[in-house]
Every structure is written in structure tokens, then in C-alpha cells.
Amino acid sequence: MQIYSSEIVKIGEQANLFLDEGIVVFFGDNAPEELQDFALIHKLVPITGDIEVGTKINLSDSNMEVVSIGPVANENFKNLGHLVLKLDSSTDEAQLGDVRCKYDKKPDIKIGDTLRIIN
């Protein structure tokens, strides 16, 4: 079941600082300007479920699957549209707010691309 689907509306000027290290940082379009600089901004729509181990995430041309999730990740996503994906395929315990994923390829992200989260 799809629990979230939205569109990337902005790519922060410094988002590459994180992307280069395999970290995808999202904020909703209500986030303060200083945070938007470092993130991918998606149009906020309601999320209808929790991200869990095994959740599938489709971003641009990349297919990911959650292998580990931090205890505050869902809360941050629901409250702020804030999501941190770590593309390292590691099954080590995720940091508090992180969602660790395995993936088929690193995403090539453009404005207008979609973010879909499916349980």
C-alpha cells in the first residue's frame, strides 16, 4: 500500500554536500530557508502510515528498500516532512533520525521527480 507520494519541488544549493556521501535529506516545503539549502524539498501531503523495515522507497530513477530505521525517523517525517535516507545498505542500527536503505542505483534527482513510499 502506498503511504506517501509527492513531488520534488526544489533542490537546495548545498544538498550535494549530503548526496555526495550517500545521504538524501528531505524537508517539506514549509521548512525554514536555511534548511532548504541543504535538502530536497517535497510538496507536503499527508502520510498515511509508518515507514518500517522492508518499506519500499522510489525516488526518481532509484528503487530503495529500508533495512534499518531510527526511533525518531517517523516522527520527524510526520511532523516536518523531514526524512534522512542513508544509502549504504548497512544493517547496523540506524542513528535516531535515519532510515538506512539498500538500493539498486544512486538516484539522479531532478525537480519534478517523485518520491513514493510503499509498504
What minimum distance in Å lies between the beta carbon of 45 and another protein?
16
Interacting residues toward another protein by CB under 8 A: 17-18, 20-21, 23, 25, 30-35, 37-39, 70, 72-73, 75-76, 78-80, 82, 84, 86, 95-98
1 or 32: CB nearest another protein: 32
Whole-Å CA distances, 116 to 13, 26, 32: 23, 13, 23
Nearer to another protein, 61 or 79 (CB): 79
Our CB check for another protein shows the closer of 61 and 90 to be 90
Closer Cβ to another protein, 6 or 82, answer by number: 82
The x, y and z cell numbers of residue 70, run together, are 531510527
Residue linked to cell 517539506 = 28
Per the CB < 8 A criterion, the answer to whether 64 and 57 are in contact is yes
Q: Nearest distance from residue 5's CB to another protein, in Å?
A: 21
Strands (DSSP E) along 12-55, which ranges?
Answer: 23-28, 40-42
As a whole number of angstroms, the distance between CA 117 and CA 119 comes to 7
Distance CA 81, CA 89 (A): 23
Shortest spacing between CB 103 and another protein, in angstroms: 17
